[in-house]
Amino acid sequence: MKLFNRILPLFLPASLALCFFSCTRPAAEQTMNRFIDSLMSEMTLEEKIGQMNLPVTGSIVTGQAQSSDIAQQIREGRVGGLFNLKGVESIREVQRIAVEESRLGIPLLFGMDVIHGYETVFPIPLAVASSWDTLAAQTMARVSAQEASADGISWTFSPMADVSCDARWGRMSEGFGEDPLLCSKMVAAMVRGYQTDNLADSTSILSCVKHFALYGAVEGGLEYNNAEMSRYRMYNDYFPPYRAAVEAGAASVMAAFNTVEGIPATCNKWLLTDILRNEWNFQGFVVSDYTAVQELREHGVAADKHEAALLALQAGLDMDMVSEAFFLLQDDKNMLPYIDKACRRILEAKYRLGLFDDPYRYCSRNREENIYTAQSRGEARRIARETFVLLKNDNSLLPLKKNSTIALIGPLADTRANMSGTWAVAATPSRYKTLREGLQDAVEGKGTVLYAKGCNLTSDPVLEANATMFGREMRDPRSDEQMLKEALSVARKADVIVAAMGESSEYSGECACRTDLSMPDVQHDLLVELKKTGKPVVLLNFSGRPVVLNWEAENLPAILQVWFGGSETADAVADVLFGDYCPSGKLPAAFPRTVGQMPMTYRRFNTSRPLADGKDTFSKYQSSYIDSPKSPLFPFGFGLSYTTFHYSSPVLQNSPTCPTVSISVTNTGTRDADEVVQLYIRDKVSMPARPVQELRGWQRLHLAAGETKTVEFLLDVQTLGFYDQEGKAVKPEGEFEIMVGPDSKNVKTLTLSL
């Protein structure tokens, strides 16, 4: 029986509010158009290109190029916006130059990488994905926008919508994990948080969804590498989050560094025009990544910077970050229509922000007190504790008693600068607590926290320097032996050892790719020695990506994955460690057993030679590894709690209008807690073939001890369908496995026939 006869966009009901663009109603839209027509009629070609020029300023640079003599360029109308300038005073002054000293007085945009908070730093996006709490993502973005806008910023280069299944890639930390639906919901929430439904509100800022497209799939997990795949895979696995952000009204899009089908995204017309504008109806402007236009030469697609500019503009790029290449097109009459379009899109964004009404709307001095407030910090702490994932907890070792003697040991135990995680450019770490301080505060008057660093991040000083860039140096001059000796003597005095280990903030992030995902050498050795003391060891694992924790999972009784929790990490960890909050995080990407499994996803295809049901190890001529189980160590969606949950048998209602599945979940323990109930499907026979499992919904429940709640999922066309190789939605029909459970592995399955 065919239930669904129409072709519909999946995940993305067309009715979704386009808050950015719908805020200008037809009449207001006409007024805006008249204003921009009139402004553009006065602009010289150079001034139009000036709007498309985004030089960098400030002390933070992510590449080689630095622009010079910015003030003079602004006076000459050759700058559309600036980025990485921090502080109301500086921004006000630069804006004043644009408004008062340039011929037409067009205000500038001020951009910044506000990725997971501003001075109040929230957990890294990968951690926020572990909460599966879209409201948390929206709140993070809202608070970030309130703080950044109070400090002069009108545009953030966030959210990052790159799906990634490869933990070698350092930027997995900046995204929302391996699943397209989880990423889609999170990025859409971020866009809503930054922009609200009223961009003219002075606490709203432009969002910029990046990096379009496929950056999370760089080959070998290697930074800036090519990303190649079938269009079928793009439409189903990698495009949905970008599209969700566009549907949520994202005002701008950043083109990715990588190639797609051999053509760098920066000059890929299929991506920037055919898909983004023609298929998805994107109305905002597209900016390049840092120096990406001039780098078209290095890609080998442009002979020189002039050709690079030409290719990028014709493909659909509107704004050039740092390369300043579009000025080279001034004499080319054929480029005029492209330049007009690009300039208009940027002016529209400025208009919608209200900058033509009040260019200083983000620069009022009295708003700085809205930054790093008790309220924002409270939100950051509340969200941080939702993101920690309890991976193991033998014999309920956790939560710890506050009246214990705790040996806090490890290179992440007493560092202020490494709590925030990568891409926290506005962070002020001197104000953030170290973990040691957080635990001490929590046990104050009841227990004792002893401390020893125990080891450096790694025995290799060069690797340590690579992983602690940007002033986050933490190397101890003592020898490994001296540090170990001290740690063991501290450990012996304690009831329990809490080991704060793993990665530093910059061990992941841009250009921090790893070929080895296991615990760095000296840290592993230290854990081995700590275990030998016979004291129970709790590992607090810091990382910006899934890592390999085989030895740890086999040998330590408790592991809490804490990612990087932001400015309030220390208090949030204490909340969970001592049981004031029950952990509820679920992995947004599986933790592998070995780096050799990368890239890996639970959304794998069955292959023609699947392993027999329940079998995970080598089987000749079946899809398996000779030297490792096939499964991850911790599956996608996994996370324990201090309480226990019972899932009833799911019930299917196969109504002809819309089937549903429901399941009751009971908190069978003694603590109130949250649980994330997950829905997966498998389309059993289809052409093209579908993966063995796909997340198609979830609900986060709060359940008091003993409480039962029933969750219902609609099995509608969005939930069951997929895209074909041309991006057309395929109607769902035939048999589906409907799976519900607390993670991707532990599910109860029913069959639905359509």
- Site residues (vs ligand NOJ, CB under 6 A): 62, 113, 157, 210, 289-290, 510
In angstroms, give the least distance from the CB of 157 to ligand NOJ.
3
| CB 62, min distance to ligand NOJ, A | 4
Bridge partner list, 692:
none
One-letter identity of residue 276: L
**47: Cα separation from own chain's centroid:** 35
Distance of CA 236 to the CA centre of its chain: 19
Instruction: Please say which residue, 337 or 471, places its beta carbon nearer to ligand NOJ.
Output: 471
The residue (of 113 and 575) whose beta carbon lies closer to ligand NOJ is 113
Which residue lies nearer to ligand NOJ by CB, 172 or 526? Answer: 172
Report residue 45 as tokens.
């070609």
Q: What is the DSSP string of 94-155?
A: HHHIIIIISSS-PPPEEEE-B-SBSSSBPPPHHHHHHHT-HHHHHHHHHHHHHHHHHTT--E
Tokens 């398996």: give the residue. Answer: 624
Cα angle 459, 465, 471; round to 5 = 135
Distance CA 454, CA 483 (A): 5
Own/partner pairs for 22-30, CB < 8 Å, 24+ apart? 22/249, 23/197, 23/198, 23/199, 23/200, 23/352, 24/352
CB of 388 to ligand NOJ, least distance (A): 26
CA 754 to chain centre: 36
Q: How far apart are CA 112 and CA 368, in angstroms?
A: 17
Angle at 127 between CA 408 and CA 566, to 5 degrees: 60
Distance of CA 598 to the CA centre of its chain: 19
Cis peptide bond N-terminal to 13, omega within 30: no
Contacts of 190 (CB under 8 A, 6+ apart): 137, 138, 140, 141, 158, 159, 207, 245
Nearer to ligand NOJ, 142 or 210 (CB): 210
Rounded to a whole number of angstroms, the minimum distance from the CB of residue 366 to ligand NOJ is: 29
Residue 533 tokens read as 């003391």
- Residue 211: cis peptide before it, omega within 30 degrees of 0: yes
Q: Which is nearer to ligand NOJ, 322 or 549 (CB)?
A: 322
Q: Which residues of 423-449 are buried (b: 16+ CB within 10 A; e: fewer)?
A: bbbbbbbeebbbbbbbbbebbeeebeb
Peptide bond into 546 cis (omega under 30): no
* Residue 506 Cβ vs ligand NOJ, minimum distance, rounded to whole Å: 14
C-alpha 320/C-alpha 49 separation (Å) is 10
Q: How far is the CB of 666 from ligand NOJ (least distance, A)?
A: 44
As given in the structure block, the two tokens for residue 727 are: 């991006």
Contact 82/110 with Cβ under 8 angstroms?
yes
CB closer to ligand NOJ out of 289 and 295: 289
Rounded least distance, CB 162 to ligand NOJ, Å: 10
Least separation in angstroms between residue 192's CB and ligand NOJ is: 20
- The least distance separating ligand NOJ from the CB of residue 510, rounded to whole angstroms, comes to 6
Please give the full DSSP string across 221-263, using - where no structure is assigned.
Answer: G-TT------HHHIIIIIHHHHHHHHHTT-SEEEE-SSEETTE
Q: Which is nearer to ligand NOJ, 412 or 426 (CB)?
A: 426
Q: Which is nearer to ligand NOJ, 169 or 290 (CB)?
A: 290
- Cβ neighbours of residue 160 closer than 8 Å, sequence gap 6 or more: 115, 125, 171, 174, 175, 176, 187, 209, 210, 211
In the bound state with ligand NOJ, the residue whose beta carbon lies nearer, of 157 and 542, is 157
For ligand NOJ, the closer CB: 289 or 318: 289
Q: How does DSSP assign 684-725, residue by residue?
A: -S-SS---S-EEEEEEEEEE-TT-EEEEEEE--HHHH-EE-T
- Residue 414 known to be catalytic: no
Q: Are strands 735-741 and 673-683 parallel, antiparallel or unpaired?
A: antiparallel
Give the active site residue among 289, 320, 414, 674.
289
Closest CB 159 distance from ligand NOJ, rounded Å: 11
Q: Of the two residues 289 and 320, which places its CB atom closer to ligand NOJ in the complex?
A: 289
d(CA 304, CA 291): 14
Residue nearest ligand NOJ (C-beta atom):
157
Distance (Å, whole) CA 357 – CA 353? 9
Give the shortest CB-537-to-ligand NOJ separation in angstroms: 37
Which residues are tagged catalytic? 289
